[in-house]
Each structure stands twice: as C-alpha cells, then as structure tokens.
Amino acid sequence: MLFRLAWATLTSHRARTLLAILGVAVSAAMLLDMVMLSSGMRSSFKSLLLARGFQLRLAPKGTLPLDTDATIGNAAEITSVLRAMPDVETVSPVLGGQLHVPRDGKTVTATALGGDAASQGDYEITSGREPRGADEIAASDDFLRVANLRVGDTLSAAAGYDPQLRTFSGTRQLRVVGRAHFLYMAAEQRAVALPLETLQAMQGQAARDRVSFFMVRARQGANVDSVLQRIERAVPKVSAISTESAIRQIDQRLSYFRQLAFILGTVSLVVGFLLVTTLVTVSVNERLGEIVVMRAIGVARGRVVSQIVLEGSAIMIAGAVLGLGLGLLTARYLNSILASFPGLPAAIDFFLFEPRDAWSALGMLVAAGILAGIYPSWRGASVPIATTLREEAVG
C-alpha cells in the first residue's frame, strides 16, 4: 500500500519529479566521478608498477628512474651482487637513451631502452619477437608508423647527434624483429628496445658498463622492505624505491586531486540532499490537508512518515541509477583530457571504475534521500489535527 501511494504521489506531478530525478542524476554523476578520481590514479599507478611483478626500482643516489641523465657504474658487478641475494628472483638492468634514425630526408628520434630480453619489464611484444641478437630491436607502433618501417626491415640508427658538426655518433645497422607496447611510455611516444650491450656500445665510452636503473623482483613470500634494506646496504650508491614508497611519493605530488575530489564530492552530495529536501518539503506543504485527514481517521504517524520518506528515497535511487551511467560517460571524457598531459604514461587512468565506488556513491545518495525526507515528513505528520483541519476548511 505504501508503494502504491508513493507512486501515485510522484506521478501526479510528473514534470517536477522528472526534473528532481535529473538534478539528482547530475549530482550522482559528479559524486561518482569524484569517488573514482580520489582512488583511481593511485590504484592505476600501483597496477602499472606491478604489471610485470617488479616491486623495487634502483636509481642513482638521490634520483628517480630516468628522472635525470645520471647513470650507475659497475653495472655488471651490481647485477651479480643482486642476483646472488637469496630473496631476489629477477634483476633487470636498463639503460635509457635516444635513437636517431634518418628516414626519407628527415630524422626520426625515439626513446631507447637497453635491457635483457629475458628479464625485461618495460614492454610487451604484440607481434614478432623480443630483440635478443646484438643488432635487433623491437619498436612501438608510433615509431614504426613515423619511420615508415615494418617488422623485418633494416635501419641505420645513431645514439647521439652533434648539433655543431651536424653529424651522428654511434651509428649502427639494426633490424626490426618485433612490435612492442611500452608500459611506461606516454601516448604517441616513440620508443624502441634493444639489447643492453648494444645500446652501451652505441653510446660509447661514457656508457661503458653503466645503466640508468635496475628493476628487481623479490621472490614470492619475501618481505620487500627487508630486501630493500639489504640492497641499500650492499649497494650504497643507489636509491632503492619500493612500489609502496613510489605510491607515497605520487600521493604527495597529487594530493590536490584527492582534496579537489573530496570537496566536489561533498558539494554534489549536499546539492542532492538539498534538492530532495526542497522537493519533499514542497510536496508535504501541498498535501498538508491530505496528511491531516489521514491522521484524523487513524493512520499512524510513522506510516505517514514512511510514505513520504519512501518518495524521497525513490527519487534518489532513480537519480542515482541514471547518474551512474552519466558519471561513467563524463569520467571517460575527463580521463581522455587528463591523460593527454605530457609525460604521463598512457596506461594511467585518473578515473578508474571499481564496483565499490558505484556502491559507495549509490549508498551515500540513498542515505541522503532518507535523511532528506525525515524532517519535512515528521513535521507534516506532527501538526495539530483539529487546528489544521479548521485552517484547511477556512482556506
């Protein structure tokens, strides 16, 4: 009976009910987006760092991986030390640089990563195979497209360029053996991967036995913090960064995103609450005579309150469901804008949808709908019956 009465009341003012639902949907969409933003980038960044299972990154002392041009010397010795540790499963040394490829009267430049194909954690092969030979490379689709190359083609590449002499240095003939998706590269960033020894040789004496950073995967069940401490004691020239410490640094740098999400999410929830409260208050004032008559014939106050609260909750639920779809659409659009910032890995999502986010937003809105209906409904059901009936009759 309560549901039928609530439905009859809502459908008797269809335009007002529809506008209220649309207003709640906008608030729900913003609330969902802000909940997704507050936790999305953190979860996305953590998933990205652990995509290949490496929990530790070792960079030159006081820097972040590839944050500067600094490199780590005695790379072969450090690799041996790390691999000898009982809790270390995989060590991947990586040297960063640039590759210059003259093609059709122009020079195509790409980020170059030198590493060990058997232990690398920077890319995934999408076609072809990994570069294992000394003169083999795997390249991103963007590089192959701009350079007009295909798997199997041979190219002449240089590791350096002297702008004064206008000459290339470290030139070598390389063959493309695979297409690769680079996990940590920005959208449309051109990149190639080749054996570590090849890139070191192309860069010359300055890169002899040097790398930009190491990636380390601990054995299953090992305490990552303990492994980190042992590495720092054994190799004092490096800064060891765990996934959790990297997440903390990201949290500090992007804390304003969470603050903005909290503020806008709170505003959207308050707007939805005030909207439903206003609508329910207007509805109660319009039906005051009806409510008093119901109370006069013996309808319990709690039943009247329940009916009105049900109306407010129905508006909130309908608006929240509609806002869920609207929020996902707007999140996708906003994510495409934020993801285009220079230097950000293409795999980073600012708005990451998780079912718990949707349930959290929906739960908060339903709770707000219930609270929005309690005060006006209780106030309407508590007016003096005889006085109100006389005023309604005179009016």
Cα-atom radius of gyration of the chain, to the nearest Å? 31
Residue 83 in contact with residue 119, Cβ under 8 Å?
Answer: no
The torsion angles phi and psi of 106, rounded to 5 degrees, stand at -135, 165
Residue 32 in contact with residue 267, Cβ under 8 Å?
Answer: no
d(CA 58, CA 46): 17
d(CA 127, CA 155): 19
| Sign of the CA dihedral running 182, 68, 212, 195 | positive
pLDDT at residue 315, rounded to an integer: 81
pLDDT at residue 316, rounded to an integer: 81
Residue 205: exposure state from Cβ atoms within 10 A (0-12, 13-18, ≥19)? exposed
0.85 surpassed by pTM = no
| Sign of the CA dihedral running 271, 273, 276, 281 | negative
| pLDDT by residue, tens only, the chain of 395 residues | 566 766 666 677 778 778 888 888 888 888 888 878 777 777 777 777 777 788 888 888 877 776 677 888 899 999 999 999 999 999 999 998 889 988 877 888 999 999 998 888 888 899 999 999 989 999 999 999 999 999 999 999 988 777 766 777 888 999 999 999 988 887 778 999 999 999 999 988 877 889 999 999 999 888 888 888 898 888 888 888 887 777 777 777 667 777 777 787 888 888 888 887 887 787 777 777 666 667 677 667 777 777 777 877 788 888 888 888 888 888 888 877 776 666 667 667 777 777 777 777 778 877 887 787 777 777 766 766 666 666 655 55
Characterize the bridge pairing of strands 167-169 and 160-162.
Answer: antiparallel
DSSP state letter for 25: H
pLDDT at residue 8, rounded to an integer: 67
DSSP state letter for 185: P
pLDDT at residue 206, rounded to an integer: 74
d(CA 306, CA 92): 64
Residue 373 in contact with residue 312, Cβ under 8 Å?
Answer: yes
d(CA 120, CA 376): 64
